[in-house]
Amino acid sequence: MIWSLRLPFMAAAFAGAFFCGSSAQALESPWVEASHAEIRLLADAGANPGIRAGIEIKLAPGWKTFWRYPGDAGVPPRFDWSGSENLAAAEIHWPAPERFVDNSGTKSIGYHDRVVFPVSIRAANPALPVKLKLKLDFAVCEKLCVPADAQLSLDVPLELDGLSELLEQAGATVPRRAPFGQNEGLAITKIDIDRSAKPHAVIEVSVPQDIPVELFAEGPSDKWALPLPEKISEAANKLRFSLDFEGAAPPGVAPIPEKLVLTLVAGQAIEVEVPLE
């Protein structure tokens, strides 16, 4: 089965192994294979109070998987924790992604080689252990895209000591929330909206040093099919990007979204919510 979707936008495993490195102890599930990838669950005592978990995906050479908004083609991963026990909430944190352009010019957004998604876990009853069970549905792509799925589990005891180096590193790649209009450091400084027959936005960003820059845009919901912003000018540490709104809105919705979520990646990464009304 081949997947190539335009968005308007494993066998179960029980873990008792421990991660070893720099005197840290953290839980890991066994690896589970799925379509050109291997997946496992991680957990440590990084969150206080609470549990920090993670989902690690290792991809075969040349293959990629997708961000929460995959761009022109692909599907985002779906995380189903409904089989878990004593789990009140599991919040996925998304590491900063990359842009991919294939031979046809199709642009997608995601990850290659390896990605670790940190997960904030909240127990329904903090006095009891948590049994994590995850059903993961995702896609992997080389020249073509294929669906993949995995089922994983990890028992997390009440007493959990130490930190996972992988989760520490992954947490550092998650974009931090930043205010709109900030003028220092890495920032989204300004946005101008053209409401003509060909509506678009011109977004100005500030980057503190001369390094590669990527900007990603999301609409108010995953029904918006926004293209990737394209750089149109650069002067000193100020860059300007154009974002085309034409044909991006869901049916029956005004062509200019009420807000944008912008992710700016330049060594570090920030996420900025910008109201447009």
Do 27 and 38 belong together in one domain? yes
User: What CATH code is carried by the domain that includes residue 271?
Assistant: 2.60.40
Domain-ending residue, one of 118, 146, 173: 173
**76 located within any domain:** yes
Token digits of residue 125: 């009853």
Among residues 105, 138, 173, the one where a domain terminates is 173
The count of residues in the chain is 277
pLDDT recorded at residue 18: 30
Q: Could you give the CA distance from residue 242 to residue 234 in angstroms, rounded to a whole number?
A: 12
pLDDT at 11 (0 to 100): 29
In this structure, what are the phi and psi dihedrals at residue 130, rounded to the nearest 5 degrees?
-110, 135
Give the mean pLDDT of 38-52: 82
Confirm whether 199 is domain-assigned: yes
Amino acid at 155: D
Lowest average pLDDT, out of 8-22, 46-60, 75-89, 94-108, goes to 8-22
In a domain, 90, yes or no: yes
- Which of 173, 198, 219 terminates a domain? The answer is 173
Q: How far is CA 259 from CA 97, 180, 221, in A?
A: 21, 12, 10
Whichever domain contains 156, its CATH number is: 2.60.40.1250
DSSP structure string for 106-136 = -EEEEEESEEEEEEEEEESSTTS-EEEEEEE
Judge whether 208 lies within some domain: yes
69, 104: one domain: yes
Note the pLDDT tens digit of each residue in 138-192.
Answer: 999 998 899 999 999 999 988 777 788 899 999 999 999 999 998 789 999 999 9
Q: What is the DSSP letter of 267?
A: S
List the structure tokens of 41: 């669950």
- Report yes or no on 4 lying in a domain: no
Q: Tell me, yes or no, whether 246 and 155 share the same domain.
A: no
Q: How many domains, the chain?
A: 2
pLDDT tens figures, 110-142: 999 999 999 999 999 989 999 999 999 999 999
Residue 5 lies inside a defined structural domain of this protein:
no
Alpha carbon distance 160, 200 (integer Å): 50
What is the residue whose two structure tokens read 């029956």? 252
Which residue range is the domain that position 206 belongs to? 176-275
In a domain, 55, yes or no: yes
Is 163 among the domain residues?
Answer: yes
Q: What percent of the chain has pLDDT over 90?
A: 74
